[in-house]
Amino acid sequence: MKVWAAVGVALLAAGWFGFLTAYRSGHEAGAAAVRADWSEYMVKSEQAATKALRKAQAAYEADMRRREGVERELDAKLDAATRRGADLARRLRTQACPLPGHDTTAPADGAAGESSDTGAVDAALAAHLAACERDAERLGGLQRWLE
């Protein structure tokens, strides 16, 4: 009986050892498959993220180029309008039919920018407003003459 008990215990131990070995190998194989799937997923995910980032960067750069183009066009239009306005002002100042006592030679416009001399700015503003008043009087005289 002792022999049969020892054989039973030995068979039970061998069965338990076989089960654990099979379980561990199956677990390791399953874990390896999960790691491979996860690795593949991460690679695909990184590739998708990189592709999306490149696409977003390209869209941003295209938008910035478009905005810079619009800004350049607007600057060019502003410069052209400024030149046309200055030319119109010069032609109006030097019109061939001045009123008596009206000086048709106007000083050339200075360089663009702000003056740091407030006295010069005030004087220029006063001169500009006086010229506007003279022009208004001339225009009023022309309107009365046309009536």
Tally the domains of the chain: 1
21 within a domain of the structure (yes/no): yes
Alpha-carbon distance 94 to 98, whole Å? 8
The one-character DSSP state at 136 is H
Note whether residue 98 is domain-resident: no
Rounded Cα gap, residues 6 and 51, in angstroms = 66
Whether residue 104 contacts residue 98, with contact meaning beta carbons closer than 8 Å, is answered with yes
% of the chain exceeding 90 in pLDDT: 23
- Distance of alpha carbon 68 from alpha carbon 70, whole angstroms: 5
Q: What is the pLDDT of residue 107?
A: 52
The yes-or-no verdict on residue 101 having pLDDT over 60 is no
Query: Domain span at residue 38?
Result: 2-89+120-146
Query: What does the mean pLDDT of the chain come to?
Result: 81
Residue 65: what pLDDT? 95
Q: Is residue 109 part of a domain?
A: no
Q: Tokens for 76?
A: 């060019």
Its pTM surpasses 0.75: no
